[in-house]
Structure 1
C-alpha cells in the first residue's frame, strides 16, 4: 500500500475547522459516502465534503491532503489483501484518544451512509449499521490494561472489516483503482 498518512498533520489543519471533529471522522464520512454511492467520483466527494463541512475557502495543500486521504482510502477499500487502514492516532497516543477517534470514525461512516442513496440493505448490512451505531457511542475504559488494549484492537479490526464488507457488498463490480480528480455484536470498553 502507499505511504502511511500522518494523522497529526491532518489533525492540525482539521482542528481549525469547527465543523470537523477529527481526521478519523473525515475518513469515516468518506467511506460511508463511497459505500452509499457507487458512482461517486473524487471531485463529487470533495464538493459534498466541502458543503457538508461548511467550508467556503480551502488551502491548496489541504486539497492535496484530502486527495491523498481519498486515494489512500479507496485503494484500501479495493484491496484484494484487506489492506484498508483506518485513519486513527497511532499506538503512541493514549488508549482514550484512540477509542475516542475510533468512535468518531464510526460516527463519520454512519453520517456518510446517511448522505447517500442506499439500496435496500440485507440483514447483515443492517446489523452492521446497528453495530457501528454502538461503536460510535463507545467510551474509553477507566482502567487501561492489556485487556483494554486487546478490546480496542478487536474494535479496530471489526470496524475495518465492517467498512470493507459494506463496500464490497454495495460495489460488487468496483474497479481496483481510485478515480482521479475530475476538473470539475460489538465489544465495548468500560
Structure 2
C-alpha cells in the first residue's frame, strides 16, 4: 500500500533535509490538522512541512515522502476500520526514546489541531462539534505532550506506554469523527 509510512525511512529523509524535528511530530501534526477538518493540496502541505521542520524547499523525492505523511494520515482517519496508527519508532529502540517520540507526536497533533482550528474559525467555522469529553481528552493530551522518560525503568512502564499510545490514538480518531461529521442537508436541499 503506497500510503504506508515507515518511521525509520522517514527519519532518513529528515536527516537528508537537515530537519531537527522527528517524524513522529510531523505525523502528529498531520493527524491533528486533518482531525479538526484541515485540508490542503500538496503545495500547501509542503509549506506546512517547511515551516514546521524549518527546512528550505525539499527535492522532489523528499517532497513525495513528506506528502505521503499527509495522505497516509488522511487515509487512515477516513478508514472505517480504525486504521490510524501513531508513527513512532519500533520496539528495537529503548523505551525512553519511544516515550520521547510519543511526546513529540502529541505535541505535533496539538500544533496541527491549533493551526487548522484557527483557519476554521477564520473561515467562519467553529469547534463547537467537540463534546466535553473530547475537550477534556485534549487537555489530557496537553499533559501527555510533556511526558518524560524518567519512568522508563519503572515496573510496568512498557505496558503503561502501550496504554497511553492507545489512548492517544483513540482521542485522535474521536476528535476526527466529531469534527468531520457529514453535514445534513439544508432546509432548501430537503425540499427537493
**TM interval, short-chain normalised:** 0.7 to 0.9
Matched residue pairs, number? 173
CA displacement 1:25-67 (0-9 Å, x = unmatched): 0011111111233443444333333234333321211111112
Residue 86 of structure 1 aligns with which residue? 86
CA drift of 1:129 comes to 1.3
Segments of 5+ residues of structure 1 without an aligned counterpart are 175-190
Equivalent residue runs for 1:9-158 within 5 Å: 9-15=9-15, 20-116=20-116, 117=118, 119-120=126-127, 121-140=130-149, 141-145=151-155, 147-158=156-167
CA drift of 1:136 comes to 0.4
Please tell me the root mean square deviation across aligned C-alpha atoms, in Å: 2.3
Q: Which runs of 4+ in 1 moved over 4 A?
A: 1-4, 16-20
Q: Which has the higher helix share?
A: 2
- Distance across 1 between alignment mates of 2:10 and 2:141: 24
Q: Secondary structure at the match of 2:172?
A: helix
Higher Rg of the two aligned structures: 2
- Identify which range, 85-94 or 45-54, moves more after superposition: 45-54
Q: 1:167 aligns with which of 173, 176, 183?
A: 176
- Distance across 2 between alignment mates of 1:89 and 1:66: 17
CA displacement 1:148-181 (0-9 Å, x = unmatched): 111011011011111111111100129xxxxxxx
| TM-score normalised by structure 2 residue count | 0.79
